[in-house]
Structure 1
């Protein structure tokens, strides 16, 4: 996408303020013109219309025997008073009559901005008419249902003003949101570690500058990560190659030590030979762990499939028996109302559970007990493994599943290299599951619970 014509935020705000001012002026002109048209067509009567009618009726009202309500212009109130200010008759209430008489006595003709009084002298009486100088509809129905046209226009203007503000706000919000979305898309791609995307350009100068900065950061980050990935790949290849290279001289040493073991008769020599064989086996174990570490750091292909639960558990139990055979460990296996199938990566999950069982066998004493239980609830399938060893220390419960953590101080194992539970946790998290470490209240040994969702969304 090419670079768009850009405008600054200040210019955008000024533009929308001008839109607002222009719109407000147009609304005022529209209502003024509408009011003018209705006035020229006698739909709305002028504000002094009532005053003119009273002026034209003054002579008649001064001569008639009695002033009646029908003689008074519509919308007006009146009262006829004696010389002392007592209202003889009319439609003023008590308070209004006193107010009208007091205003007239002060030689005033109005009270406030809109309430006015007309005085008509009769033979022995004074007629006071209260009227309002305001526009009004000529049609009785419009006057009844729409009331004061000036108030109506004011209400309509306020509603139009609110509509204008809302419309401009929505328009500005959508425009700004659209531009901000470009920025959010760029940050989201970086968050997903996709550093090969090309950001779209914004029409707002300030946002375009941020996008440019993000694009520069993305390029620098990509170069940095590429160097890091190459270094990591080279390191893994070197470690893997070195581990395989060490196997050759180690095989020669171990082979010769085995040969000496078969032919040597000297007891002292045999003792040293046993040391050599023991150390060779330990080095072999180190190499195996080292190769496993380099493999575990590679990106794993996670391929969940539909797994038959019974067959999967039986496969684990068979391997469990082989691992426990040397120590004559008593195996106690249990399955509680488990579903026929579940979803997961069979190979990764198998390795995760076997890692825990292998650790449990290793830390269990000769002729100890090992519990393996499979159960489920509405959402999760749970694999529980308990050994009869010394259990986890407080420190191990916090760090045992960290890579390379060694808990030898409490569990006295020279072959625990902090990789087994790390691999188990990594494979379980690929299943969106969890690994829970604790100590068994039943055996006093370590307890590990692996939970995975039964169904993947």
Structure 2
């Protein structure tokens, strides 16, 4: 339900500031009253107490034969000098003896912030210099000796209370805003978690409510976008599923004719070629099964990794490449130096990655051309790797293709090759190889000028 009365943040701040200033005024009033109570009860002596006592004792100081401590007011110091400024007696230390007389000669009666001197002329040319302070003091002499200055203690207490009050006000203001911001945090958390089924939230602070309204509109727009995207994906899935189903029909026809040729043909070479056709049909049917299972599943199925013998795997790839290149009479040279080496990979994905590379190599290798597959073990500081290099003697990569060949949907220089040298293939291959912890590098062969693809897969180490 929408909250009708809305406040602005600056109004809330001014309110808290007004409360804070009111509390400060109240604190000052309490401090003033407390000070007066302590003075009236005699716990504290007023600031002019020593001055008043000195005024009352001035006559006795002038007439006394010798100035004693009991004549001097409590808390005051004194020193008696002759006419030449020689210190005769008193309770001054050595430094203050000289300082007091210099003030007498210069007429300086206030050597400190609240410290004063009174110069009292005595008979015989003597001068009694009395030092006193204009500040409140503890009435009890024991407290005056053991505790710091009463005024400073009083100010320190007020400052401590003031700081506590400031901290409390800031904490209260922060907690107030935190409670109001909670609804904002909840809304952003729901959007972050893709939970878009929540109603419009409201706040009693206008600025926060404006942000909530923007978040709600964004949530609605995101929800509509996701629903449209979901519907579009569902339509695509249905279309792909239907296409995959329809492909089975011509595949069945091809398989049936291939089986018929196998039964009726007498030529061994024809039978061998026919076997390649039958194997390829079986491979396409397996891909269609994987495609249909992927479409039925909610997410990508995670293939379990298995341990493969590197040499056997590369030889299998070489045999497939020979089958692909029969029509163009392409020669496949294989050099494998990976005896007793294994890799731990998702076999189906790695196989598909290499077949994309090899199929492209066959496609762009000219008739009677050659494809080289070199595999060896590389031992480096970063680990042990199975390094496989596929080289053809086709047109090779352009500079643009070398930069963008692994990108999705990149189609190369059409004017040079008629169509893309490596379209989706390298993107798929690069993606699958990275999932195995490997890398794919593109380049050109310096000798043949054709494309050169280097794949590195980490070896399985027991």
- Give the TM-score of the pair, scaled to structure 2: 0.69
Q: CA deviation at 1:218?
A: 0.8
Q: What SS does the aligned partner of 2:128 have?
A: strand
Describe the superposition over 1:137-186 as per-residue Cα deviations: whole angstroms up to 9, x where unpaired.
12334323432211222222223222322232233233324433432443
1:302 deviates by 5.2
**2:424 paired with 1:418:** yes
**Runs of 5+ unmatched residues, structure 2:** 265-272, 323-331, 363-368
Q: Residues 118 and 176 (structure 1 numbering): CA distance in 2 closer, same or farther, change over 3 Å?
A: same
Q: d(CA) in 2 for partners of 1:320 and 1:442?
A: 24
Matches for 1:117-196 after TM superposition, within 5 Å: 117-124=117-124, 125-196=126-197
Please give the residue correspondences for 1:180-329 in structure 2 after superposition, counting only pairs within 5 Å. 180-198=181-199, 201-242=202-243, 244-245=245-246, 248=249, 300-301=299-300, 303=302, 312-314=306-308, 318-325=312-319, 326=322, 327=332, 329=334
Cα RMSD (Å) of the superposition? 5.1
Structure 2 match to 1:386? 388
* Aligned-partner Cα distance in 1 for 2:197–2:378: 45
Higher mean Cα deviation, 220-229 or 352-361? 352-361
Instruction: Number of aligned residue pairs: give it.
Output: 418
Query: What do the CA deviations read for 1:253-306 (whole angstroms, capped 9, x no partner)?
Result: 89889999999xxxxxxxxxx9xxx9xx99x98xx79x969959986345587x
Residue 42 of structure 2 aligns with which residue? 42
Sort the Cα spacing of 1:372 and 1:233 in 2 relative to 1 into closer, same or farther, 3 A.
farther
The 1:51/1:400 distance shift into structure 2, 3 A limit, reads same
| Structure 1 residues 107-126: aligned runs within 5 Å | 114-124=114-124, 125-126=126-127
> How far apart are residue 68 of structure 1 and its match?
3.6
Q: CA deviation at 1:230?
A: 1.1
The CA deviation at 1:451 is 7.4
Please report how far the alpha carbon of residue 13 of structure 1 lies from its aligned counterpart in structure 2 after TM superposition. 0.6
Residues 342-385 of structure 1: CA deviation (Å, up to 9, x unaligned)? 8xxx7xx33332233324544388573342759899xx998644
Alpha-carbon distance in 1 for matches of 2:296, 2:439: 19
**Could you tell me which of 341, 351, 354 is aligned with 1:354?**
351
Is the CA contact (8 Å cut-off) linking 1:45 and 1:136 kept in structure 2?
yes
Distance 1:302 1:122, change over 3 A: farther
TM-score, length-scaled by structure 1: 0.70
The 5-angstrom pairing of residues 437-452 of structure 1 reads: 437=441, 445-449=452-456
1:405 to 395, 403, 410: 410
Separation (CA, whole Å) in 1 of partners of 2:2 and 2:384: 55
Write the distance in 2 (CA, Å) between the matches of 1:213 and 1:372: 59
Decide whether the 8 Å contact of 2:309 with 2:340 is kept in 1.
no
Whether the aligned pair in 2 keeps the contact of 1:85 and 1:101 (CA below 8 Å) is no
Is the contact between residue 79 and residue 88 of structure 2 (CA under 8 Å) also seen in structure 1?
yes
Change (3 A) 1:328 1:318: same
CA contact (8 A) 2:58 2:120 kept: yes
Q: CA deviation at 1:115?
A: 3.3
Q: Which residue of 1 aligns with 2:372?
A: 368
How much does 1:42 deviate?
Answer: 2.3
CA contact (8 A) 2:390 2:454 kept: no
Q: Deviations over 1:30-77 (max 9, x none)?
A: 333332333233221111221232233233222222224454234323
Describe the SS at the equivalent of 1:120: strand
The alignment status of 1:103 with 2:112, answered yes or no, reads no
- Between the aligned partners of 1:35 and 1:436, the Cα distance in structure 2 is 85
How much does 1:207 deviate? 0.9
**Where does structure 1 lack aligned partners over 5 or more consecutive residues?**
264-273
Task: Please say if residues 47 and 136 of structure 1, whose CA atoms lie closer than 8 Å, have aligned partners that are also in contact.
Answer: yes
Give the Cα separation in 2 of the matches to 1:426 and 1:7.
56
Partner residue of 1:62? 62
When residues 251 and 302 of structure 1 are mapped into structure 2, their CA distance, relative to the original with a 3 A threshold, is closer
C-alpha deviation, 1:9, in angstroms: 1.1
